Structure 1
Amino acid sequence: MKTDESGDVTSAVSLRGVRKTFGDVTAVDGVDLDVRDGEFFAMLGPSGSGKTTVLRMIAGFETPTAGRVHLGGRDVTRQAPFDRDVNTVFQDYALFPHMNVLANVEYGLKVKKVGAKERRERALRALETVRLEGFEKRRPGQLSGGQRQRVALARALVNRPKVLLLDEPLGALDLKLREEMQVELKAIQRQIGITFLFVTHDQEEALTMSDRIAVFNAGRIEQIGTPAEVYEQPASAFVAGFVGTSNLIEGDAALSILGRKGVYSVRPEKLRVDTELDAELPEGDHSATGTVAEVVYAGAATRFVVDLDAGGRLVAMQQNLQASSMDVLKLRDARVRLAWRREHEFSITGPM
C-alpha cells in the first residue's frame, strides 16, 4: 500500500460532502469516503441506496450536485470520464459481438491510437492475467458467462487504470459460477495490485472479496469497516439486518433476558439450541427459552426459528455435523433453550 512523503496512506479515491439529486429525489446525501491505494473496496447496499450513483460520479458519468471527487489526490469533479484514470466493468459486460476476444480487448487502446504491436502485446498480457490464453479468436457468443466476464475485465485492465470500477459484474452469473468468479477476481486484484472499487447488493459477495466495506442506506454510508468489523460489530440496526440475519433482542425482552434496556443482537451461528431447558449453563452465558416455530433444513446447516417466551423471535443456525434432515425436522414445535456467550451480543442503535 502506497504512502505519501509524510507516511500517510495514499487515497486512490476520495469523496468529500458528495451529494446528488435528481429533481426532488436525493440519491446521495453527503458522502465522505476514502479508498486506499491498492485496496479491494466494496460498496454494499440495497437497490436505491445510492451506491451505483456514487460509482457513476467517480467514473464521471454523473456530476455531483455538491461536493468534490478526487482521484489520486487530483480533483476530477468536473472532468469528463475519458480524462479520469479509471475504467468501468458493467454488469452486462458490453462486449462487441462482431469482434473476437482479442479485438474486444484491444479496442480501448486502438481508440487511444496505441501502435498495433504494443496494442497486441498488452492485450495478450491482459488475457493471460485473466487466464484466457488461447481464446483470442473466439467471439463473445462462443464464450460462457464467466469467460465473457473475464474478457470485460481484461478490456478494462489493458488500459492500466489506477482504479477499476466494477458495477455488479457478477450479477448475471449463476450461483456456482459467481462463487468461482469471486475467488478469481480477488486473486487477479492481488496479482496486479490496483485499486478495485466494487458495487454489489450481495452481502456474501462483499464479505468474501473485500478488504473493507461501505454499507449504504438511503443515500448515506451507515458503516465502513473490514468484513469482520461490519459483520461482528454492526454500527446500526440496519447494518445488522442487511449484512447477515438480524437477531434483535429489544424492549421488554431485553430487560427480561439480559437484565437491561436497549436493542441488542446475536448472530444466528453464535446461538446454541438445547432441548434440555434446565441444563447448567457456563458462567457468564445468557439464555432464553422458547418454542421452535419453523425448521429450515439446508443440507450443510439448519436454521431454527424460535418464538421466545419473553417476546420476539430469534433465528439460530446449527451445522449438521451428524444430524440428518429427519432428526432436525422433529424439533418443530419443540420447547428449546437458546444460549450464547455474553461477548457475542452487541448493542446497536438506529431504525431498521
Structure 2
Amino acid sequence: MAGIDLDVGHGEFFSLLGPSGSGKTTTLRLIAGFEEPTAGSVELAGQDVTGLAPYERDVHTVFQDYALFPHMTVEQNVGYALKVRKVPRAERAERVRAALASVRLEGHGRRRPAQLSGGQRQRVALARALVDRPAVLLLDEPLAALDLQLRGRMQAELKELQREVGITFVFVTHDQGEALSMSDRVAVFNAGRIEQVGTPAEVYEKPATAFVAGFVGVSNLLTGEPARRVTGAPGPYSIRPERITLSAPSAEREAAGEHRAGGTVADVVYLGHAVRVLVDLDAGGRLTVLRHAGEPATEAAPGARVLLRWPAAHAVPLPADPGEPGTDPDPGAPATVPAPARGPH
C-alpha cells in the first residue's frame, strides 16, 4: 500500500470502498491490530494504539463469515468474550439480553446458529461485537454472503442500528450502491491508495479522478477532440448518464449553460426500471444515456438520429491522466485526506 492519512469522525458510518486488492481490508486490519504498519501510527480517540495487540484496542471486528461457534447457543456466542473476561454471571446475562434486543433477536437466545437464517446469523455476529459497546466497530464485507433481497433489508437495519447505538462503524465493501446508501462518508481506494474521501453525494456528483467517476456508479468520460468539439475544452469530463436528456434532432439554438451533441443510437438496453441508450456522437466517441422506463422511447431505436443535451455544470472536469481512465500515474504517492469536523477515532 501507498501511504495514506485517514481520519474517521466519532459516531460516523465510514465506508472503505474499492475493488478487490485495492487496500481497503488491509486498512481495516491495521486499525484492528491484525497488521502492523511499516511506518506511521494508528490512533484511537487521540491515543496511539499502534503497538497494542488487537484485544487491547477498544475495537471489535465483524467478519464476512460471522465466525460463530456452531456448538454454542446464540446467548453463549454473544456472551463468550464476557465469560472469558470473567464478567459476573448476572451482569453478563443482562448485557447479552441488551445486545440481542439491540439487533431485534429477543427470544432467539437458546437457538444454535444452524437454526437461524443468514440475516439472523449476521445479527448475532453484530450483537457479539456490540455487547462490549466498543469505541469502533469494524465490518469486513459482512453482507457479501447474503442474497440480494436480504442484503437490501440488512443494509437498512445496519444503518438504523448504527444510529441507535452511536458507535463509529468502519465498513469495508466493494459494492458502490451499498457504500452510497449507508455511509456518512466514503473513502474510495484504488491500487493501494485513496483516490477520494467525501460524502456519498460529493463522491458521486463531483468525482476527483477518472477512476472514481468510473467505479462509483456509471459515468461517461468525454475527452480529447470530442470534448473540445462539444464543450470547447479538451477535458477530460465526467458526465453521469442520468444527467443527459435525449430527444429528436432540433434546430433550436443551444441554451446558455448547456452542452449539446448530435449522434446516432448504437444500441438500446432494457433494464426494467430504466432504459440504457448508447449513442455514437458525430463529434466522435460514445455516450451512455439513462432514461426512466416510463419515458417515451420511440426516438431511441438503433440507427435513429438523436440530440443529447445536458447542463454544462454536470460536465465535471477531471485531472488529466497520461494513462488509461482509472490508472494511477504515481502509485507511490501518498493520498492525504482532510480531517472531518468531528473528533477523530
TM-score of the aligned structures, taking structure 1 as reference length = 0.89
- Mark the runs of 5 or more structure 1 residues left unpaired by the alignment: 1-27
Aligned pair in 2 of structure 1 residues 328, 66: CA closer, same or farther (>3 Å)?
farther
Aligned pair in 2 of structure 1 residues 328, 295: CA closer, same or farther (>3 Å)?
farther
Of 229, 233, 248, the match for 1:256:
229
Deviation (angstroms), 1:322: 5.0
* Alpha-carbon displacement from aligned partner over 1:302-325 (angstroms, at most 9, x marks no partner): 1111121211111111112255xx
Aligned pair in 2 of structure 1 residues 30, 341: CA closer, same or farther (>3 Å)?
same
Please state whether the residue corresponding to 2:162 is helix, strand or coil. helix
Query: Aligned AA for 1:338?
Result: L
Of 238, 243, 246, the match for 1:273:
246
Structure with bigger RCO (C-alpha 8 Å, 6+ apart)? 2
2:316 paired with 1:346: yes
Matches of residues 8-47 of structure 1 in structure 2 within 5 Å? 28-47=1-20
Deviation (angstroms), 1:276: 3.0
In structure 2, the residue matched to 1:312 is 285
Of 62, 69, 84, the match for 2:42:
69
Mapped to 2, the partners of 1:116 and 1:295 lie a distance apart of 64
**Contact (CA 8 Å) 2:265, 2:300: kept in 1 or not?**
no
Please state whether the residue corresponding to 2:212 is helix, strand or coil. helix
Segment of structure 1 superposing worse, 329-338 or 64-73: 329-338
Query: Aligned AA for 2:316?
Result: F
Mapped to 2, the partners of 1:41 and 1:208 lie a distance apart of 12
Aligned pair in 2 of structure 1 residues 215, 346: CA closer, same or farther (>3 Å)?
same
In structure 1, the residue matched to 2:307 is 337
**Contact (CA 8 Å) 1:126, 1:155: kept in 2 or not?**
yes
**Contact (CA 8 Å) 2:11, 2:167: kept in 1 or not?**
yes
Aligned pair in 2 of structure 1 residues 82, 257: CA closer, same or farther (>3 Å)?
same
Query: Aligned AA for 1:209?
Result: M
Of 121, 126, 146, the match for 1:153:
126
Aligned pair in 2 of structure 1 residues 77, 328: CA closer, same or farther (>3 Å)?
farther
Matches of residues 1-352 of structure 1 in structure 2 within 5 Å? 28-279=1-252, 281-323=254-296, 327=297, 331-349=301-319, 350=321, 351-352=325-326
Mapped to 1, the partners of 2:220 and 2:195 lie a distance apart of 18
Deviation (angstroms), 1:330: 6.1
**Contact (CA 8 Å) 1:211, 1:227: kept in 2 or not?**
yes
Aligned pair in 2 of structure 1 residues 330, 242: CA closer, same or farther (>3 Å)?
closer
State percent identity of aligned pairs. 63
In structure 1, the residue matched to 2:332 is none
How well do the aligned residues superpose, as a CA RMSD in angstroms?
Answer: 1.4
**Contact (CA 8 Å) 2:277, 2:300: kept in 1 or not?**
no
**Contact (CA 8 Å) 1:301, 1:320: kept in 2 or not?**
yes
Please state whether the residue corresponding to 1:29 is helix, strand or coil. coil
Mapped to 2, the partners of 1:37 and 1:252 lie a distance apart of 47
Please state whether the residue corresponding to 2:188 is helix, strand or coil. strand
Please state whether the residue corresponding to 1:34 is helix, strand or coil. coil
**Contact (CA 8 Å) 1:302, 1:328: kept in 2 or not?**
no
Query: Aligned AA for 1:130?
Result: V
Deviation (angstroms), 1:281: 4.7
Higher strand proportion (structure 1 or 2):
1
Mapped to 1, the partners of 2:262 and 2:122 lie a distance apart of 49
Aligned pair in 2 of structure 1 residues 322, 220: CA closer, same or farther (>3 Å)?
closer
Mapped to 2, the partners of 1:296 and 1:201 lie a distance apart of 25
**Contact (CA 8 Å) 1:63, 1:77: kept in 2 or not?**
yes
